[in-house]
Structure 1
Amino acid sequence: MNGYIASVLLVLLGLGVGSLQAASVAKPVCGGTTSYKNINLVVPSSPPRECEYHIGAYSKYVCQLRIDFAMTLAQPTLEKDETTGLSYAECTSDYFEVNGLRLCGVETWQHIYVPFNATDGVSTVDLLLVLANRAGATGLPTPSWDMTVTQLECPAGASVRSLDMEDQAEITIESRASTIKDGFFVAPPGCLQYFPQAKGVVKSFNYNDGAGIYPSRMNYAICFRRVETTSLLTIRSYFFNVGAETSASNFLTDESCYRSGSSNDLDADFLMVPQATLVDSNTHATYFCGATDKDVVIKSNNPGPLLVLFNSDDIYKESEAGFAFTYTVA
């Protein structure tokens, strides 16, 4: 796994986009604290029920953490709402938690961004892994994780940093000299995932080759790098199974993706693509749901930030295995 990440970073170097790999990489154990720029977190041979890592700011210029990770944890649990009697999927047996976000199941090199505004006095971010009791025949998988954490630095005045240090006398973060070469990887504010390369693959959390289920109650932005000449985002979905109000074996859009009678756009499961066009039918749509294993091509030419949004409500339905698509920014 470590070799895979190293290979990706070497490719990026060859493309001239800079490297996130420093000369040394910290490898703290459970309960450890580190303020290195580059950090590798690996499951110990006998993991405790709770494993917490404390990430201290590398410098006052730190604005984000990028966490690339592979992990195998227990699948989301189907819990039942006592009021409605309906089920929802939640990470309760095992989970990885940071900044209020919980993930579980099987991930093969996913990534997330975590705000880390050192300029505003935030000095530590905690990463927590919690495991269920595996004594006896539990049927739970052997837990594993391999995470690469990179502290990204931003210049003063960047939108993901505060302008001024408050109560500087109380802040003990070292003011290291920095040439700040992380700009290519810094995500726009509000993006949980960011893909700076011009092409790649995007998958929902716990996709697991279409065999997983995504957690309920998610609402996040997936962002792409836009340059001055960018005019189009093209998405080619090759797996799509996102809950719809009606039982479906095909791709659905807009009104079909909401529960009838609801005035809340978040009261449904969907992938939202601003100013989108379905290429095959040349029809316009914004919200996408339903189920299909056929290739579906969507193009978006919206101005401003280049992104798609994913939302899952608090009701689990059978058609909630997730999505996988390739993208091209041109």
Structure 2
Amino acid sequence: MPLDFSALATESRLLIEVPLRPVQGTRFQPTGFPNLGAAVYSHPDADKGQVVLVESAQSMANRLETVCWDEPNDDWVAPLKGLPVVKVVDKDGKPLTNSLLEAHRLNSPYILEGKDKTVLDMLKARLASMEEGRVDLRELARVLLEFDANALLHGVFLAKKELAGGRLRLPRALSAFIEAGDAKVAASGGVKNDSVNPSGDAAKGFGNVPFARDEYTSPAITAFFNLDLRQIRAFGLGTDVGDLLIALALFKIRRLLTDGLRLRTACDLEPMGEPRVTRPESGFTVPPLKDLEAALPGLIEAVGAKGLFGDDRVLTVSYEKK
């Protein structure tokens, strides 16, 4: 059925929550950080114990992008074909990476730092008017749309001095994270066995090596999604682009919930019911995945027909070190 975003027309945010649970058992392994381990903190309501960050905003952005790419065929998944993207090949012409999968998107060193200056030169030419004075975010959004619409949802920071002195950036319009409330440590451990030489030098990979392991349990694991509708409208790119970006964001969320919640070996989650819209409080329900898949090709072509994707929707550059 056709998508109806009229309930979002005057809203500043679309906020969505989804309760999750482990696919098997009760334990899960949260994301870890160097010199910190798991991010554990007290709930503002002291009676609700401690909270553990299961997945960070940075990691969730990467996961929301990954579900859009068909890795074996080096292309968008079927409903998204026709969206612009910058592909990178190696010196032998084999696929290396692309602007969707790179953590810094168009600011990837494989796109801007190699011998091939195609994208850098195009950006310099298109954004030359911003070398001095305030950055025109509308024009920046229009240019980025031609290279990779994904950057308008997940943000980009073109940190090269050749591009307006490194001042060109867009914040995320779509952000997400996963938290677990009233979390408790499930301590365990194990041993790396060496049946040949149990007392060998562990520093060189030999010997039996015992280790401790902390996982967690929680009665309330929740995925949170935040779509900044005001920012999307502020791009000034029109209703067709706005509808495409909203549909693309919801597609990413639905695909992640369907296919992308195996976060780690010991953190395999699944939704407990449908996504719950907490803002606006009434009038909007997240469309089913099949409706989003059916509508996206038409939304993509509507934007493409206006020439907003540029001349070449797949721009291929080669990467060799300077």
* Structure 1 or 2: more strand by fraction: 1
What TM-score does the superposition give when structure 1 sets the normalisation length?
A: 0.23
* Structure 1 or 2: more helix by fraction: 2
| Structure number with larger C-alpha Rg | 2
